[in-house]
Structure 1
Amino acid sequence: MFLHLEVDAAVSTPAPTSPPVTDPEADGRTGRRGESGCMTTNIVIMQLAILAVVLESDLGRRKIGWFRVGRPIIGVVLIVPFFFTSLPTGENDLLLQGSGALAGAALGLFSVCPLLVSVEYHPNGRSRRRASSHGAKPAAVSRSGVGYAAIWIGVTAARLAFAYGAQHIFPVGLGVFLATDHLSDTGLTNGFIFLSVTMSLFRSLGLWIRGRACLAQAGHSQAIVYAHRHGIGAQGNDQAQWNG
């Protein structure tokens, strides 16, 4: 009977509880299962949309005008709100998102550098279909080809490959990394979004700066030529009057 009471007491007495043990691998596995599919789909749609807008705007010989510069920006403004949900403010999340933005800015400026895109002055700023139009204003014209397309396609492919790997190849490893470094899935997704946004914005900024510089240089050169010709004409008139 005593033994029976002891067993009853042992059964009825709750066992001491220990604090839950955090398993980064388990946390990563769970988080990856729940959110990576959505992240991959969002990134694929956004990256391909931005790539299509940029290549359509820039490949070949194109006038650098406000519509040309602003078209990708408008596309970004319309596309990003569908995928941007929140802004994690944890220290590491902010660093991750900021790094994505800085990387995008550097890539955007590099994509329109003189090695990949040439910019020249054209006295008739109309498009190729209207090159014979009268009254057309001078404009800066850019010319880009395989190198420019390779940069944008390569960066887009790398982002999509990472998104695919996050879902199918290394979901557990990525989850462990995020859990260990106190990073969120949203922060990682935002890093890719900011990279895309700043790359497009700084591509436009770089084109606008180079276009303005080209026009300013052409205007200065034309002013020098005009002054030189005017001076020669004045000297010729003076000489004619003197001979007369």
Structure 2
Amino acid sequence: MTTYLLSLGILALVLCTGLGTHELSVRRAVRPVLIVLAVAAFYLRSFPTAGNDVRLDLVGVAAGVLLGVATGLLVKVRRDATTGRIVTTAGVAFATLWIAVTVGRMLFVYGTDHWFAAGIVTFSREHLITGADAWTAAFILLSLTMVLARLATTFALAARRPAPVATVR
């Protein structure tokens, strides 16, 4: 149940803070970074490293980076003509990708308990994945990396916007 609540909590945070048009600032980025650090500290107390657990974690990180960059690219970044400040606009495509990833993660967790428990045990044994803690770490890393990669992508896009032209009066 905790995994579902965490997934829905991250989704709610991302959608509430990301959807719509907002001024981009370091201050706006601090909250998701702090939440990511808190979630990591809470859920990644034990970090399985036996067998291929680290490889599984790296797959989670890689997937998180790819999905984070994809969601970051779905955010429109522009300079406001009147204020000269960078603003971002995220809409339906942004929300759809976040929802799809969250639902996919939740279905995988549900499936490991109800639909394909024996299959995941066999897969884990054959690929030297030590168990549920390794899978949990990989999915937590995917989620957290996705948030951070989205932020990094948005700031990278913002850095490419030309500075406002100063007018002489």
TM-score (norm 2): 0.91
Alignment correspondent of 2:27: 67
Match of 2:127 among 177, 181, 204: 181
Q: Which runs of 4+ in 1 moved over 6 A?
A: none
**Residues 69, 208 of structure 1: 8 Å contact kept:** no
Residue 212 of structure 1 deviates from its aligned partner by 2.3
**Residues 19, 89 of structure 2: 8 Å contact kept:** yes
Give the alignment of 1:16-55 within 5 angstroms: 41-55=1-15
Match of 1:218 among 155, 163, 168: 163
Residue 91 of structure 1 deviates from its aligned partner by 4.2
Match of 1:120 among 47, 57, 78: 78
Alignment correspondent of 1:85: 45
Count matched residues. Answer: 168
Give the counterpart letter for 2:91 in structure 1.
Answer: G
Alignment correspondent of 1:190: 137
Match of 2:97 among 143, 151, 166: 151
**Residues 70, 204 of structure 1: 8 Å contact kept:** no
The whole-number CA distance in structure 2 between the counterparts of 1:42 and 1:181 is 27
- SS across alignment from 2:79: strand
**Residues 42, 83 of structure 1: 8 Å contact kept:** no
- SS across alignment from 2:53: helix
Residue 149 of structure 1 deviates from its aligned partner by 0.2
Give the counterpart letter for 2:113 in structure 1.
Answer: Q
**Residues 50, 72 of structure 1: 8 Å contact kept:** no
Larger % of helix: which?
Answer: 1
The whole-number CA distance in structure 2 between the counterparts of 1:48 and 1:163 is 13
Root mean square deviation, CA, Å:
1.8
**Residues 100, 194 of structure 1: 8 Å contact kept:** yes
The whole-number CA distance in structure 2 between the counterparts of 1:47 and 1:99 is 19
- SS across alignment from 2:163: helix
TM-score (norm 1): 0.64
| Percent identical | 32
Alignment correspondent of 1:18: none
The structure whose Rg is larger is 1
The whole-number CA distance in structure 1 between the counterparts of 2:81 and 2:29 is 19
Unmatched runs of 5 consecutive residues or more in structure 2 = none
- SS across alignment from 1:218: coil
